[in-house]
Amino acid sequence: MFKFILKRVIEAIPTLLILITISFFLMRFAPGSPFSSERTLPPQVMENINAKYGLDKPVMEQYTTYLSNVLQGDLGPSFKYKDFTVNELVATALPVSAKIGAVAFVFAVFFGVGIGTIAALRQNTWLDYSVMSTAMIGIVMPSFVLAPVLIYLFSITLGWFPAGGWLDGSAKYMVLPVLGMSMMYVATFARITRGSMIETLNSNFIRTARAKGLSFSYIVLHHALKPAMLPVVSYMGPAFVGIITGSVVIETIFGLPGIGKLFVNAAFNRDYSLVMGITILIGLLFILFNAIVDILLAYVDPKIRF
């Protein structure tokens, strides 16, 4: 097991290097600059600015400097927010996104698996049909359709929850963003769980367990749940990626001061270092999470362990 984890970690290094390289050269070869504005600055001023941010050096030298800084955990100064470093900006935005994302993810997994299991146990009854057709709506309703609908229903019409804002993450302000972000994944998890649960319940070892006279609830919890979780665990990776990507839209709609909104603003402002910093950070999160999913998979499915 330890060897397996070590192998995953070593494999992640080239991925991260490639990501840093791609985002660096994409920035450098993009037309326009973060300092171009309507008022053209005198050349001396431009020279000073370029010298301050090291933009006057040859590209390869800039690249090696940046790379060594990033490896030491320093993402450099922000080009637009003059008094802040990228690290500081990210440190204020990350907790917000992490909180919503984590709640949305946990909600999606538990709720999705829960209703998927119920639908599987009551297969082909009205309960199954109603749960699964609701899930289909969840799948085709993207977050940027669902979120305005939620705001219209619960903020404008009913007035139960605020339509936006954060207020240090009090529960009231988190309900709608979490719902908007996670419904699609609740639905997908439910569909996946239902399918794999039905398949598992029809397999031979379950029949054996029933023949031994074990109670049905015991069989579901102790025999069927673990093998049925295999496709669920493998979908956790894409779901995590989707929730992080979705945060861009959700944070824009609800006006939350998170990473997604910071990223969009940075892209619009051409704040190269901030954009690069966030891209690398998100890439690192993806890699970490994919590794965790692989380890979980190895735990659920002994066949993968080698």
Partner 1 sequence: MLTKKQNIDAIDSFSENLEIEGRSLWKDARIRFMRNKAAMVSLVILCVITLAVIFVPMVAEFSYDDTDWYALHQAPSMVHLFGTDSLGRDLFVRTFIGGRISLMVGILGALVAVVIGTVYGATSGFIGGKIDRMMMRILEILYSIPFMFLVIVLVTFFGRNIVLIFVAIGAIAWLDMARIVRGQTLSLRNKEFIEAAHVCGVSNWNIIRRHIIPNVLGIVAVYSTLLIPSMILTESFLSFLGLGVQEPMTSWGALLQEGAQTMEIAIWQIAFPAAMMVITLFCFNYIGDGLRDALDPKDR
Asked if 70 is part of the footprint of partner 1 (rule: CB under 8 A), the reply reads no
* Min separation Cβ 221 and partner 1, Å: 28
Q: How many CB atoms lie within 10 A of CB 211?
A: 8
Verify binding: residue 23, partner 1, rule CB under 8 A: yes
Give the C-alpha separation, 29 to 31, whole Å. Answer: 6
Among 49, 67, 225, 267, binds partner 1 (CB under 8 A): 267
Cα–Cα dist 140/136, whole Å: 6
Stretch that binds partner 1, among 41-49, 169-177, 227-235, 247-255 (CB under 8 A): 247-255
The H or E element spanning position 123 is none
Q: Cβ closer to partner 1: 220 or 258?
A: 258
Which residue, 45 or 304, is less far from partner 1 as judged by CB?
Answer: 304
Please report whether residue 258 would count as binding partner 1 according to CB under 8 A. Answer: no
CA distances from 259 to 10, 116, 149, 211 (A): 27, 31, 23, 54
Judge whether 106 and 161 are in contact, CB under 8 Å. Answer: no
Q: Which of 136, 203, 221, 255 binds partner 1 (CB under 8 A)?
A: 136
The tokens describing 291, both together, are 């590794």
The reply to whether 264 sits near partner 1 by the rule CB under 8 A is yes
For the bound state, the minimum distance from the C-beta of residue 15 to partner 1, rounded and expressed in Å, comes to 5
- Distance CA(147)–CA(107), nearest Å, equals 17
Residues in the chain: 306
Is position 102 an interface residue for partner 1 (rule: CB under 8 A)?
A: no
State which amino acid sits at residue 150. L
* Separation between Cα atoms, residue 125 and residue 115, nearest integer Å: 14
Residue ranges that bind partner 1, judged by CB under 8 A: 11-12, 14-15, 18-19, 22-23, 26-27, 30-32, 136-137, 139-142, 144-145, 147-149, 151-152, 156, 241, 244-245, 248-249, 252-253, 263-264, 267-268, 270, 275, 278-279, 282-283, 286-287, 290
